[in-house]
Amino acid sequence: MAQPVDLVLVLVLLANFLILGTGWMRVCIRAAAFQGVLLSLLPLLSPGEMVWRVIVMAAGAAIVKGILIPSLLVKAMRDVHIRHEVEPYVGFIPSLFLCALGTGFAILFSGRLPLAAEHVGTLLVPAALSTLLSGFLVLITRKFAITQVVGYLVLENGIFVFGLLLIEAMPFMVEVGVLLDLFVGIFIMGIVLNHIQREFSAPEIELLADEEE
């Protein structure tokens, strides 16, 4: 029963590498959207009774992560007239190396955790840890605000995978609250991007610090 879940999680891990290894914003956004859609399938594939709460959670995740937020990011990308992440703080090859190193560490570390019997031998915990690390890497190694929003989205995807470990006991409103927080964060970032675009030709984070000085 864990095989379909592990297959989806392998694709989620590959999406992490794609996001960190590409400089094209549209590819990065689409990879994050693809990852969000994949994650929306996990509640449906997880063992347990298929109740309306699980179905609504999966549908909400697919709409917010796979359609709504990526559409807002593509619109923001067009508004600020940028297509490519140029000269990130950490290059694409080192980023891929760090992602591979973090994924290997996550696999080793998860084997030492006291997991429930149904989660032993699955990729849920390694994928969650690796996705959290990947989102964090995007946040700290990329210059453009749009790419950092993608990092925030990937980071939340890792939290979503962790939540699946408690899908039987996790209140429905907890996940809805996480998705709402993410949507508000994207909305605020859109407002910030509009102000950045008025002041600078390229919305790089480091320019904000220079302006404050």
Encode pLDDT of 113-164 as tens digits: 766 655 566 778 888 889 999 999 998 888 777 788 888 888 888 887 877 7
What counts of helices (H) and strands (E) characterise the chain? 9, 0
Q: Which residue shows structure tokens 């407002």?
A: 191
Number of domains in the chain: 1
Q: Running DSSP on this structure, what letter comes out for residue 201?
A: S
Q: Please give the Cα distance from 77 to 65 (Å, whole number).
A: 17
The pTM (predicted TM-score) of the whole model is 0.77
CB atoms within 10 A of CB 53: 16
As a whole number, the mean pLDDT across the chain is 75
Q: Please give the Cα distance from 91 to 104 (Å, whole number).
A: 20
Burial track 4-31 (b if 16+ CB lie within 10 A, e otherwise): ebeebbeebbebbbbbbebbebeebbbb
Query: In the structure, what pLDDT confidence band is assigned to residue 211 with cuts at 50, 70 and 90?
Result: very low
**Contact residues for 29 (Cβ-Cβ < 8 A; gap 6+):** 70, 73, 74, 77, 146, 150
At residue 33, does pLDDT exceed 80?
Answer: yes
Structural domain range at position 159: 2-212
Coil, helix or strand for 107? helix
Q: Please give the Cα distance from 209 to 38 (Å, whole number).
A: 37
pLDDT per position as a tens digit, 36-85: 899 888 877 766 555 676 777 778 778 888 888 888 788 877 777 777 76
